[in-house]
Amino acid sequence: MVLFMATFPPLRWALLNLLAGIALTLSFAPFNYFYLAFFSLAFLFCAWQHCTAWQAALYGYCYGLGLFGVGVSWVFVSIYFYGSGELFSSLLLTSLFSAFWALFPALAGYLSVRLARFCNSQLLLIILPVVWILLEYGRGFWLLNGFPWLQIAYSQLDSPYAGYIPLLGVYGTGFLLAFSAALFAHLIVQKKHFPLIAGSLVLILGTGCLLNHQHWTVKIDAPISVTLIQGNISQEQKWQQNSLIGTLMAYQQLTNQHWDSQLIVWPETAIPAYLSQVDVPFLQPLEQQALSHGTDIIVSLLEKDQQTEAVYNSALVLGKKRASYRKNHLLPFGEYMPLQPLSGWVLNAIGLRLDDFSTGGTTQPLLEAAGYPIVTSICYEDAFGSESIRHVEKAAYLVNLTNDAWFGRSIEPHQHLQMARMRALESGRYLLRATNTGATAIIAPNGKLIAQAPLFITTALSGVIFPMTGLTPYAAIGDHAIIIVLFLGLFCLLIAEKFYLRPSHATT
């Protein structure tokens, strides 16, 4: 195998890694072939052994092109069909977007091979998965306000690795998956240590299966009846001024049929107007109806600070305790413009206009609905575990308001729902997800779907949830602690290898 890898043409390896990256995309929703993530990563890690750092970067870049070129193809749908972009500019921006994020697998390959020059081949088993996860963290949390799409742990919600999610979150679970793939790659390339590697894989998978039956949180009270409204208002129609009354009446009528629910939730910007425009004529009468039926309603609309002119994407509770939550984690290039003035100049040059919102901040108190405090997220925020576990120890359940109409019938709504399922499992809480066109869903604390509305159908999804208490280990420690442990662990291993374990070092 080593001789085969050494003589196989690099360009052919590059093409095969492009296909392997596409295979990784198929492990995510809506395809859900979760086992492909293991084999796809193992193939990439095999390619990274016995090659130069720059070859590893090439293989990683091709892998990233396959992964993001297919996995985020919905960017084209958003720009071309709903963002009024021209065909050429839409294709160009989507290609640049995919090409940029493909740099991360390339950097992972380059750094892994460079680090491997200073250690023995066994340490590659740790270097490969740690570097991969550290770079996932870099793109998922830090760069451009974070782009956590297609992080490998999301593909494992229905696999044995799901048991680790309430324990270690996205990054810890992703490390175990990547470590398993590195073990398998080592076995394929080196053909050594079969009993040890097989035993390690069995132990990781077996422990995950056992953890899948572990309950970290408990029910604290009687069930809560809920209804999630999916208005299915087309994106083209939604923001037209002459459609406002019809949109409000559509949501009002769906709500009137479900006053027997303790909580009714509308999706993101279900009310396409500012609070000041609709409060007196529409929201106050609606609130009085809710109070008379003992129901709370969560709606979503825009708020504008009259003094600062700042605009907020907000969720508003109508009922016994009126209060609002202003979106904190904004979507780059969708709700604000990073890299100014460059990004503004580029978009102006190709004729695209994007909104500019302000962040609500991290110190906002929890909303209360149906008698319990809740963690609220708006659209993109449910892609971040750190957002959902903030103050979750005080919350009984999670609520997410989303509008994925921007992405049509692409794979994005399915991927986004998968990420919402991760938030429920990480926190050990029920999650209510109300969307405009889908995928509206009620999600259990184990990440399983209790009920889901069909996409692009006007509907009201009803069910019951239970308020929960307790903390999962992940909710207690968060992402930063896991990343610090991985980084320090790798650093200490490299120091020990260089100064204590080997008197001399061979290069690859």
pLDDT band at 506 (very low <50, low <70, confident <90, very high): very low
Query: What are the chain's domains?
Result: 2-214+478-501 (no CATH), 218-325+366-470 (3.60.110.10)
Strands (DSSP E) contained in 383-448 are 397-402, 431-435, 441-443
Residue with tokens 């708006």: 378
Question: In this predicted structure, what is the pLDDT of residue 273?
Answer: 95
Question: In this predicted structure, what is the pLDDT of residue 121?
Answer: 57
Question: In this predicted structure, what is the pLDDT of residue 192?
Answer: 83
Neighbours of 361 (CB within 10 A): 8
The DSSP bridge pattern shows strands 441-443 and 431-435 to be: antiparallel
pLDDT digits (tens, 9 = 90+) for 126-176: 999 999 999 999 999 888 788 999 999 999 999 999 999 999 999 999 999
Q: Please confirm, yes or no, whether 327 is among the known catalytic residues.
A: yes
pLDDT band at 5 (very low <50, low <70, confident <90, very high): low
The pLDDT mean for the chain works out to: 91
CB 210 within 8 A of CB 203: no
Q: Which is catalytic among the residues 51, 379, 387, 426?
A: 379
Average pLDDT, stretch 331-348? 59
Q: Which two tokens stand for residue 33?
A: 């072939």
Q: Which is catalytic among the residues 51, 327, 335, 387?
A: 327
Buried b (16+ CB within 10 A) or exposed e, 489-508: ebeebbeebeeeeeeeeeee
Q: Please confirm, yes or no, whether 303 is among the known catalytic residues.
A: no
pLDDT band at 107 (very low <50, low <70, confident <90, very high): very high
Question: In this predicted structure, what is the pLDDT of residue 343?
Answer: 46
Torsion angle of C-alpha atoms 126, 66, 140, 486, degrees rounded to 10: 0
User: What type of residue sits at position 422?
Assistant: M
Cα gap 467→450, rounded to integer Å: 15
- Of 237-241, 281-285, 398-402, which gets the smallest average pLDDT? 237-241
Question: Above 60 in pLDDT, residue 280?
Answer: yes
Say what percent of the chain tops pLDDT 90. Answer: 79
Q: Please confirm, yes or no, whether 379 is among the known catalytic residues.
A: yes
pLDDT digits (tens, 9 = 90+) for 56-85: 999 999 999 999 999 999 999 999 988 878
The three-class DSSP label of residue 38 is helix
Q: Which two tokens stand for residue 397?
A: 């359940």
Q: Which is catalytic among the residues 46, 51, 136, 268?
A: 268
Say what percent of the chain tops pLDDT 70. Answer: 92
Question: Above 50 in pLDDT, residue 2?
Answer: no
pLDDT digits (tens, 9 = 90+) for 195-235: 999 999 999 999 999 999 999 999 998 999 999 999 999 98
pLDDT band at 500 (very low <50, low <70, confident <90, very high): low
- Comparing 340 with 442, the larger pLDDT belongs to 442
